[in-house]
Chain A
Amino acid sequence: MVESLLIGLSTSASCVAQCGNIILSIIMAENKSVGRSYGLLGGFMLGRLLIYSGISAVISLIDSAATIPASVTAVSLIAVSAIMLIYSVGKTKQLCLGHRFTRKIYSACHGRISLLAFAAGALSSLNICPPIISLIASSIGTKAVFANFVMFFIGTSVFFLPMPLIGAIKNTEAVTKTGRAAALIVSIIFLAKGIGIIING
């Protein structure tokens, strides 16, 4: 378990690089108070934890490396892309492509925006990254697979913790607009990645 915590801690930076774009742009786009931003981060982290728990359960059952089919990864990336689009244009008042549809979804989620962050966390975790691969490799055959994943999750969460402090910035317009623009860029990148996986099989 200590080893998993260390793997998590040492790869935390990679996790921020991998998923930081998603949660940072969500927090900035929403631009809530520090407390509510932590709520968003909490939702996102719970989503990650859910998928990690699922993977650890599968590894415990089959006692070998669990792989996620490329098609599932591709669909999850495209779904993350859709969620980021909702965060990006969901609140816009101006007319832009698909804004009515995304506004409707955003409004439907109003008050439950952490739920969208939760979905983003869960879906992005289906995109297996190098740190997870090393964790899976070190977990096979051990008894405490789930505990290992939890410790890994705790370790990888370190770099995410300061992000909600962005809620303390006074220039809310600048933060929100930057966040929404970032969400749009992330949405395009994830869409391209998803399509890339589908094309390459």
Chain B
Amino acid sequence: MNRKSNYWGTGRIGKSILLFAPMMMLIMLMLLGSASGGDAATQIARLITIAFFGAMFFLIIYTGKTDKWRAVAFIVSALLFCIAFIHNLILERGSMTFSNAEELSCTIPFCHIVTTMMIIPAAVKQTILFPGSLVEGFASISAMFVIVLCFSIVLGRGFCSWGCFYGGWDDGTSRILRKPVIKKVNNSYKWFSFAMLIVMALWSAEAAEPTYCSWLCPFKAVTENERIIDTITLIKNIIFTLTFAVLVVVLPLLTKKRIQCATFCPMGALLSLFNKINIFEVKNDTSKCIGCGKCEKACPMLAIEKRCPTLTCSKCGKCVDACPTGAMRFHIKGTPIDKHTTIARTLFIFPAYTFLVTLCGGSVANGLALIINLFI
């Protein structure tokens, strides 16, 4: 079977442009709409960002390869997000580190992962514990909740491959080697992230602090972290560095799996639960499957069991790209598996890519502007 025949736009320039045009308009709207002025570097950075996101989207449509081009946009977003974020911190408060006093005064921005630790304290203790403002600032609790809720409903765990500005890190390191050094990773390790979700949620309620953020988050190493003033803060910083080095760099490199996202992040586990109610899924049309196992080998999230994607699938499309027969495909629940393949894929990719540009577009442009400024 000709695998490429699954998709409308594939290899057809006219149809690809037709699908690409509305997304390009959206990208321009998002990146030019709210921003005005700025120095030459900022303007150039904005144009490059628009061209970059537009080109990646076009290639996804035109080549029919979802993961290949998604990953480029996703990884670049993660790297530039961190550069822009750190620069922002240095501008705002003069350093990457924060003090306990700043934490208590609710001036520390926090990310979507912290929401996993807010549910139980909010439900059983009627307390919102965490160091953020309820309504003010770019990372206010209410804004974060709305964003998390929207992407969870629309994408399920698709957020972990199409929106999260951290996920690109281990997605990137897991692609550096051509072949894995550690060839077999037990799929059962994915349940560890669910255990993390349960334990961190309860532990946070007990300790009255976001314990994962305070003690374990690997991304503290590349964003912000607590100033070292005593043994405790020293231990915390050692843990952040170790979790980043081991879970985000070394293990993904050796296994070609996204170890931190697949086995450790509590947010990933929570989002997996939203896959249950999300209409989009990646599914195996078993009538076309020849049982080659390439999908399982390719899956970076340890999500495929017995040739079928399970709860933890992040809809990255890597297995879809890897499948030689086109059996693995994007699918809308409740529709026949062998029909409307292109519609299902297109309908998923549009909101997913829109989320990616919305959440990361601004940071990519800012990060890029900083780099351009280094040269001009």
Q: Please list the residues of chain A having a beta carbon within 8 angstroms of any beta carbon in chain B.
A: 13-14, 16-18, 20-21, 24-25, 159, 173-174, 177-182, 184-186, 189
- Specify which of B120, B121, B188 is in contact with A177 (CB 8 Å cutoff): B188
Q: Which residue of B lies closest to A177 (CB)?
A: B191
Q: How many CB-defined contacts (below 8 Å) exist between A and B?
A: 57
Within the complex, which residue of B120, B191, B203, B205 is in contact with A178, where a contact is CB–CB below 8 Å?
B191
How close is B14's CB to chain A, nearest CB, in angstroms?
46
Given contacts A16-B202, A21-B199, A21-B202, contact A159 B124 (CB under 8 A): yes
**B195 near A179 (CB under 8 angstroms)?**
yes
Residue of A nearest to B192 (CB): A181
Are A24's CB and B195's CB within 8 A?
A: no
Contact yes or no, B206 A182, CB < 8 A: no
Contact B124 A17 (CB under 8 A): yes
Indicate if the CB atoms of A189 and B195 lie closer than 8 Å: no
Task: Count residues of B near A (Cβ-Cβ below 8 Å).
Answer: 17
The CA-CA distance from A140 to B345 in the complex, in Å, is 68
Question: Is the beta-carbon distance between A20 and B194 smaller than 8 angstroms?
Answer: no
Residues of B within 8 A of A181 (CB): 191-192, 194-196
Q: Which residues of B contact A13 (CB under 8 A)?
A: 124-125, 205
From B216, which residue of chain A is reached at the shortest CB distance? A185
B281 to chain A, nearest CB (A): 17
**When the two chains form their complex, are residues A174 and B125 in contact, meaning their CB atoms are under 8 A apart?**
no
Can you pick out 10 interface pairs between chain A and chain B where the beta carbons lie within 8 Å of each other? A13-B205, A14-B125, A17-B205, A21-B202, A24-B202, A177-B188, A178-B195, A181-B195, A182-B195, A182-B199
Nearest A residue to B191 by beta-carbon distance?
A177
Residue of B nearest to A13 (CB): B124
Known: A181-B192, A181-B194. A16 touches B199 (CB 8 A): no
B198 at the interface (CB under 8 A from A): yes
* Chain A residues closer than 8 Å to B191, beta-carbon distance: 174, 177-178, 181
Name the one of B121, B124, B125, B203 contacting A21, with C-beta atoms under 8 angstroms.
Answer: B203
Q: Is the CB of A185 within 8 A of B199?
A: yes
B residues near A174, Cβ cutoff 8 Å: 191, 194, 311
Interface residues of B in 177-230 (CB under 8 A from A): 188, 191-192, 194-196, 198-199, 202-203, 205-206
Which residues of chain B come closer than 8 Å to A178, judged between CB atoms? 191, 194-195, 198
* B202 adjacent to A17 (CB under 8 Å): yes
In the complex, what residues of A have CB within 8 A of residue B192's CB?
A: 181
Q: Which B residues lie within 8 Å of A184 (CB)? A: 195
B194 touches A189 (CB 8 A): no
A residues near B125, Cβ cutoff 8 Å? 13-14, 17
Tell me the minimal C-beta distance from B192 to chain A in angstroms. 4
Contact between A186 and B205, CB atoms less than 8 A apart: no
Q: Give Cα A85 to B196, complex, Å.
A: 16
Smallest CB-CB separation from A196: which chain B residue?
B232
Further pairs besides A14-B125, A21-B206: 20, Cβ < 8 Å: A17-B124, A20-B202, A21-B199, A21-B203, A159-B124, A173-B188, A174-B191, A174-B194, A174-B311, A178-B194, A178-B195, A180-B195, A181-B191, A181-B192, A181-B195, A181-B196, A182-B198, A182-B199, A184-B195, A185-B196
- Binary contact readout B115-136 vs A (1 if CB under 8 angstroms, 0 otherwise): 0000011001100000000000
- Complex alpha-carbon distance, A189 and B202, angstroms: 12
| CB-defined contacts of B202 to chain A, threshold 8 Å | 16-17, 20-21, 24
CB distance from B187 to the nearest CB of A (A): 10
Complex contacts, A20 vs chain B, CB 8 Å: 202
